[in-house]
Amino acid sequence: MAHRGTASSKKAEAPAFASVTAADIIRAPVVQKTIPLDLASLLVPYKRQGRLSLRVERVPQRAKLSAGRNNGDGTWSLASDELEDLTIWFPPI
């Protein structure tokens, strides 16, 4: 006996909306937040003093500066020649 096709034997159609899986989220690009810092202009009046150092305080724990030394206590130490093109990087949340 031959089997007749009925509406109930059809394949279910894909939903009309897009679905996101965990694999899609893992493959999604990570957006890094980088902000330029213009601290060199602060030292212009003191340029005649020679080489200066600058201490940046209250830097968030996971943030990083593009130059200088992390002191481990939320502060960074920078020399005057490290201030050009200085940026702060915040990790993705």
Q: How many CB atoms lie within 10 A of CB 79?
A: 13
Mean pLDDT of the chain: 79
Q: Is the pLDDT of residue 2 over 60?
A: no
Nearest to 40 by CA among 80, 91, 74: 80
- Per the domain annotation, does 6 fall within a domain? no
Domain interval for residue 51? 32-93
Convert the pLDDT of each residue in 69-90 to its tens digit: 999 999 999 998 899 999 999 8
How many structural domains compose the chain?
1
The DSSP secondary structure of 6-73, one letter per residue, reads -GGGSPPPPPSS----HHHHHHSPPPPEEEE---GGGGGGGGGG-S-EEEE----TT-EESSSEE-SS
Convert the pLDDT of each residue in 22-35 to its tens digit: 666 666 566 668 89
- Per the domain annotation, does 38 fall within a domain? yes
- Per the domain annotation, does 72 fall within a domain? yes
Structure tokens at 66: 């593009």
- Per the domain annotation, does 12 fall within a domain? no
Q: What is the pTM of this model?
A: 0.61
